[in-house]
Amino acid sequence: MNREREDSGEFSQLAQGSPVDRLLALMSMLRDSEYGCPWDLEQTFESLIPHTVEEVHEVIHAIESGDRDELRDELGDLLFQVVFYAQLSREEGGFDFQDVAAEVTGKLLRRHPHVFPDGSLESFGQKRELSAGEVVGNWEAIKRAERAAKGIKPGGANGDGHSEASVLDGLSQSLPALEKARKLQQRAAGIGFDWPSPPPVLDKLREEVGEFSAALAAEDSAAMREELGDMLFALVNLARHCRIDPESALRESNRRFEARFRLLEQLALERGWVLPERELRELDELWDLAKNRIRGNQSGDSH
């Protein structure tokens, strides 16, 4: 015999609603203390973090693979992460999924005055000519105003007495290094601290390479580490100016290297070679052969 529940009416109503309503009802059921799933009941905000990170990367992989069916599936998994966090908060008496949706809607309305002039959906439909760069600049200015309205202390976490909050305040300390570099540069660019075009950034990269070469020649490991970091930072800056996502570009390079190296191994096996026993010159020849073969196959696929 099923026990009577005070919230059974809520479950029943949600179960008959939209797909989002049904998902929210399912989440509540999974976390039900008596009939729910043992694994879901054990989860906390902290324990879900690695799963959320994994789902983000699965979404990225689906996008880059061009598989829209896979993307739909992975976006659903990522949405479930959001629903899970909202459910945990709801159980604590905090925000719920509706609050999350309301928060992001309000934020987007505030940050798109060129689309919603008075900050409401009803004001949509008035055309304004703005470039993508101007939109980014306005976005950063609005975010600075939002941080100030939230009472962020002058000078940020350092409390160093600056007359206004730093434009760098609010960046997550857990961002991957490449993305953190891009966002730092973007914030600084928002107040005009930026190169005007890619060529000067390329000159800066050459300068950093020269400084790294000097540190390498001096066998100064500390300086090498510092200059290598500066080289990477300059590379991110160059990518930003060329409107290339450095993380995506590096992932593509990883995939190319993996495909070529796997083919190199296959070619070596066909020749009866034991790779560690071959000279670098021979391996380079196989590498070039693998690279050209893959390029040839890709060229053939495009016709």
For residue range 62-90, list pLDDT tens digits in order: 998 899 999 999 999 999 999 999 999 99
In the chain, pLDDT over 90 holds for what percent of residues?
64
Q: What pLDDT score was predicted for residue 163? A: 45
Gap between the Cα atoms of 161 and 164, Å rounded: 8
Q: What is the DSSP letter of 111?
A: T
pLDDT at 157 over 70: no
Q: What pLDDT is attached to residue 151?
A: 67
Task: Look at residue 121 and give its three-state secondary structure.
Answer: helix
Please tell me the predicted confidence (pLDDT) of residue 2: 43
When pLDDT is cut at 50, 70 and 90, the band that residue 297 belongs to is confident
Q: Which band of pLDDT confidence, cut at 50, 70 and 90, is reported for residue 9?
A: low
Burial 255-276 (b: 16+ CB within 10 A, else e): eeeeebeebbeebbeeeebeee
Given this model, what pLDDT does residue 1 score? 35
| pLDDT given at position 12 | 62
Residue-wise DSSP of 161-219 = --SS--TTTT--TTS-HHHHHHHHHHHHHTTT-S-SSHHHHHHHHHHHHHHHHHHHHTT
Tell me which architecture the domain covering 8-105 has in CATH: Orthogonal Bundle (1.10)
pLDDT at 230 over 70: yes
Confidence of residue 145 (pLDDT cuts 50, 70, 90): confident
| Mean pLDDT confidence for 237-243 | 95
The average pLDDT across 91-119 equals 93
The confidence score (pLDDT) of residue 158 equals: 43
Question: Is 3 a residue whose pLDDT tops 80?
Answer: no
Class of residue 103 by CB neighbours under 10 A (exposed 0-12, middle 13-18, buried 19+) = exposed
Mean pLDDT over residues 105-124, rounded?
Answer: 91
The domains of the chain are located at 8-105, 247-301
Residue 219: the pLDDT is 97
Q: Are 212 and 231 in contact (CB under 8 A)?
A: yes
For 12-71, the DSSP string reads HHHHTS-HHHHHHHHHHHHT-TTTS-HHHHH--HHHHHHHHHHHHHHHHHHHHHT-HHHH
Mean pLDDT on 194-220: 96
Confidence of residue 129 (pLDDT cuts 50, 70, 90): confident
| Mean per-residue pLDDT of the chain | 87
- Residue 130: the pLDDT is 76
Is a pLDDT exceeding 80 seen at residue 14? no
d(CA 40, CA 54): 17
Mean pLDDT, residues 17-37: 94
- What is the Cα–Cα distance from 19 to 17, expressed in whole angstroms? 7
Which amino acid type is present at position 253? S
Model pTM score: 0.60
Q: By the 8 A CB rule, do 287 and 264 touch?
A: yes
Higher pLDDT, 294 or 11: 294
* Burial class of 48 by CB neighbour count within 10 A (0 to 12, 13 to 18, 19+): middle
Chain mean position to CA 290: 32
At residue 23, the pLDDT reads 95
